Amino acid sequence: MAARGDHDRAQGALTRGRIGAAAVALVLSTALSACGDGVTPSTPDLQERFVQVVREASPKVVQIQSRLDLGSGVVFDTRGHIVTNMHVVEGAQRFVVTLAGGERHTATLVGADRSHDLAVVELDGATPRPATFADSSRLRVGDLVLAIGNPLGLRSSVTQGIVSSLRRTISESRTVRLSPVIQTSAAINPGNSGGALVDLSGRVVGIPTLTAVNPELGGEPSAGIGFAIPSTVVTQVATRLIATS
């Protein structure tokens, strides 16, 4: 299935990781030295760590639905604020948010920042447990990553990859350039926008936003080339939007 979204040419063409079905993506990233005592873990140990992180991180991801679109968000704090991409909530003020356990709540737009493609919505009458945000400046190329979310409406799907590059500058549209962003080989399928990137401790390291597409193949998604907004940018922008609302 081809990805939907705006296609641009910057480091190749790009498409937003969203579709008219709910989506979230979490990406898991860490140096192998963080996997315990600095020794590369055995396959069973690494597999168990993946299982534990998915179990810990998945409840922090929600589905956001407006009259225009479906997307994803990450629980930001204990006051019911959800951080997501601006293009997930663009054109709407009220939303229905479905928590990981299936509970549905209404939510209101708090604020948005087009220059970083980030937005915050606030739940009405619900304060789910928030995610922990890591220092994304500590990421290294080669760190293991997982993508967890609801791509194509398939809830709690997981993909795996690595951090492919750091501090990329990409064009989301003719007027919006995002920098710095994280490039990852973990699959960011249509519908992943607004999810979270997390390390092997389950901490968020970024928000998946775009997937590269190949113009020579009619705009089909390019496997293994996705981009995410670093958590250091996410926390700064979300904190500002909440404080000035």
Catalytic residues: 87, 117, 193
Q: What amino acid is encoded at 234 in this protein?
A: V
Helix (H) or strand (E) holding 136: none
Of 43, 166, 24, 203, give the one whose Cα is nearest residue 97: 24
Beta-carbon count within 10 A of 209 CB: 31
Q: Sign of dihedral through CA atoms 136, 150, 158, 141?
A: negative
Contact predicate 14/171, CB 8 Å: yes
- Nearest 10 degrees: CA dihedral of 231, 15, 145, 166? -60
